[in-house]
């Protein structure tokens, strides 16, 4: 999830009485596979990223996905920033800090 989405969810939780004492998953709402994230990052930075593939360790997740349905129902939460857009914004920010 992108920071602006997380902030929006937190602000909504502060305004909705039903949110008191509740725990919410806040994320992009879609399944993400690490290989897809790496491919997207390579596309954004315009060059290959050095990868070191190793055996899957016990307990490693093959994918991740936040179930945001509770946040949608109670808070009206809806993620606004896609993974690609969030990574693009972060890359632009990093570039503004450092010379590449």
- Condensed to tens digits (0 to 9), the pLDDT of residues 52-91 reads 988 889 988 777 788 999 999 999 999 999 999 999 999 9
Q: Which residue has the tokens 């349905």?
A: 69
Between helix 34-45 and helix 83-97 the angle, nearest 10°, is: 50
What's the confidence (pLDDT) of residue 88?
A: 97
Report which of residues 79 and 100 the model is more confident about: 79
For residue range 39-55, list pLDDT tens digits in order: 999 999 999 999 998 88
User: Are the C-beta atoms of 35 and 62 separated by less than 8 Å?
Assistant: no
Question: What average pLDDT does range 5-25 have in this prediction?
Answer: 96
What's the confidence (pLDDT) of residue 68?
A: 93
CA 69 to chain centre: 16
CATH H-level superfamily of 3-97 = UDP-galactose 4-epimerase, domain 1 (3.90.25.10)
């Amino acid at each position: 999830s992108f920071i602006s989405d997380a902030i929006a969810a937190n602000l909504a939780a502060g305004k909705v009485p039903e949110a008191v004492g509740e725990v919410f998953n806040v994320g992009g709402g879609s399944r993400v596979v690490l290989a897809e994230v790496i491919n997207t990052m390579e596309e954004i930075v315009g060059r290959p990223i050095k990868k070191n593939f190793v055996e899957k360790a016990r307990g490693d997740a093959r994918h991740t996905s936040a179930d945001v349905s509770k946040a949608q129902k109670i808070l009206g939460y809806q993620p606004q920033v896609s993974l690609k857009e969030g990574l693009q914004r972060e890359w632009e920010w990093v570039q503004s800090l450092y010379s590449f």
